[in-house]
Structure 1
Amino acid sequence: MTTEQMRASVLIEKGVVRLEDVPTPPLDADQVLIQIAAVGVCGSDVHYFHEGRIGDFIVEEPMILGHEASGTIVAVGSGVSPDRVGERVSIEPQRACRVCEQCKRGAYNLCPFMEFYATPPIDGAFAQYAVIQSDYAYAIPDSMSLDAAALCEPLSVGIWSNQKAGTRPGSRVLISGAGPIGIVILQVALAFGASEVIISDIAANRLEVATRFGATRVIDPRAEDIASLELDVDVFIDASGAQPAVRAGILALKPGGRAVLVGMGADEYPLPVSRIQARELEVTGVFRYANTWPLAIELVASGKVDLDALVTARFGLDDVEEALAAATDPQALKVIVEPNA
């Protein structure tokens, strides 16, 4: 039974989070109320905490962080079947308008009216409860943990990146950045049938993790010049946001190859335009994801992707500031907040 008030970790202003009692969010007719079990800490949460903004998204009033979430449905709106109460679910943390040009062509991640968890002014899931439209709450199999259900969100970034890259059986893939997103992209590339997945990072421990998760080759770009290795890969996916890594990755593509930019770095930096032209390379970005959750759940349920192995630390709702700090530790992969533990 829910109450009118719930506990939430609220970002009051840049550098200040506070545990507060706030109103339990009301239900629209097409929504479900979810008791939150697990929330992954994302780099964007850390960035909002330290900087108070990401690009044009500015925290101007108190906001609840956290968008990688899972839990159990405890109440439903008037337009949702009550049979859903009790379901364990993974949350796709967004609400598109469904009627704009982008939504109608299926690219709802580009909806200009998108309401996304923990993106100002929308509250996220560092709270005991959260609401989402019913069709964005995906039931998970009994074999799947609620930690893994929460991490279907970063997994969706990995799926979307590989889909944009055209990764397929036999593809040779280069990934820069062996942090949590890089490791997820690696796992998805292998699940999609890539015959070779090379990953680069400047942190030795992260290269060790990448090897453990199936990378066929790891490279420290300080020791080897990727651009001069003549890798001629089909796909390059950047999960670092580092300009030298992006340039080197593009130079490592074979003619007709595709580069996908995932990592967030500087707003602008130079690219090897003559190489892009001469080899007819495709360079694109990703912004979140669309229609990825069913595949994400299937990849985890089938054992092709291991999300539970990414979890390196857990914190309660009253320790969110510590969780945000832990997420910046180079030894960490995914830090989990458990709001109802």
Structure 2
Amino acid sequence: MQCGTPAHTSDRFCENCGAELAVHQVLVPQLGPVSASCAECGGESFDSDDYCVVCGHLRGATDRDERELGPIALITDRGLVHPRNEDSGAAGFLDGDGEGGPPAAIAIVVCDGVSTTDNPQAASGAAARAGVETLLSWLSDGRDAEEAMVAAIAAAGEAATAVATPDQEHAPSCTFTAAALATRGGRTDVTVGNVGDSRVYWLAAEGAAEPSQQLTVDDSWAQELITAGVADEKAAMADPRAHMITRWLGADAGAEPLPSFAVKSFSTSGPGVVLVCSDGLWNYLPNAADLATIATVGDANTAARTLVEFALASGGRDNITVAVVPIPPKDTEAA
């Protein structure tokens, strides 16, 4: 606050001086390739879709982008196989009642571009930004968190659809996974939303009352088998179709209503962390308790880096995006 007057979570402007209350947000990775020459043949000419005109190899982009935003640590990495990063992550928070104190609300979105579509990174970037902006806007208005999450998914879908152009055979598409956090009375309410197969986890530290657990439900072929009762998790994940997603965002996503499990809430007093990640991480370490042994050690940025390095050491076959928030959230000045 500019004048130091306490404000409530739902206040958009200071009642004393009229200043707009601060909203902080960031999007990673920075969009657009950065390589001046082709990694395959050394050529320096690329077409409008960033494919080398000599050998057809896709121009590479920055391997990693990482940010700390208040209590949030957000990292996205190209991995070891993909020529570019088609993931995007966005995060933001609303200032709390005291300058430098815990945020009034936190929003995180991770979007994974569908590699079989055209320019999936454009869809994931647009959806991540729209999702976080909508969450922060609705939460700052004091709206119900689950309603805000439904609105964020709708806004992200519209943003992903809008990047499509008439000349594209396969419209850009992406997944969407988000967490909105608000701490009141010593407990943190975590509202999650999911379309696709990125995930949100609660990862308990020693002394937490609530055990580590996956908070989202995948929209995937494997999950369909599990839900139908025809396969357990191990058998479902062994199916060659396991990672086929059954829902996504984009121009060809259709207009089906969200299933009941797409948005839900969880409450914890901590201690621990909330993890939002793409399948580039959880493919190698899907179990929540196993993730907790890494993610609850050290500060949020150390935990996020260690998780990304684990995925790279395990093969790094996909893009990797990780966001970590400690519970209870740290003060914004100390983070």
Task: Give the structure-2-normalised TM-score.
Answer: 0.33
Higher helix share: 1
Q: Which has the higher strand share?
A: 1
The TM-score, its normalising length taken from structure 1, stands at 0.33
